Amino acid sequence: GDMLYMPTEAAKPTRLQGCFVSDPEVERLVYFWGNQQREEAAPKIEEFVPSPTIVKREAYPKDPLLSAAKQLAQEHKRISTSFLQRRLHIGYPRAARIMEQLEEESVTEGEE
């Protein structure tokens, strides 16, 4: 039947639909559920997800703009990723990879 439920955080009661369940019926349901076979625990997600592999920087080919970046590094004492973005008209990820390649080749030091 109908019922009104008043949670503590609500300003007014909420109307709900419910049904009457007698105590013997609840006991029968609990007994039934208790006698059901238990399911095996679900396998852990780690079993399905391959282990992460570390991507080495050698996997990335040298960027075609690397020579232009080297020239900029020679012309200017300090360069940064944002400087490469502005001067070479490229996005941040590509500029960051070029900076890493310049650091690997000891053309420039890391940003501070």
The DSSP line for 21-67 is --HHHHHHHHHHHHHSPPPPPPPPGGGTSPPP-PPPGGGSPPPTTHH
C-alpha 76: how far from its chain's center? 38
Least confident of 13-27, 29-43, 61-75: 29-43
Sort residue 3 into left (φ over 0), alpha (ψ -120 to 50) or beta: beta
Q: What local confidence, expressed as pLDDT, does residue 35 receive?
A: 87
Q: Helix, strand or coil for residue 94? A: helix
Predicted pLDDT of residue 112:
47
> pLDDT higher for 86 or 51?
86
Q: Is the pLDDT of residue 42 over 80?
A: no
- Please report the domains of the chain, with CATH numbers, ordered by start residue: 59-104 (1.10.10.10)
| Phi, psi of 64, deg, nearest 5 | -60, -25
Across 21-30, 35-44, 55-64, which has the greatest mean pLDDT?
21-30
The pLDDT > 70 percentage for the chain reads 85
Mean pLDDT of the chain: 84
Q: What pLDDT is attached to residue 29?
A: 92
Percent of the chain residues past pLDDT 90, beyond the cut: 42
Q: Which two tokens stand for residue 22?
A: 């007698």
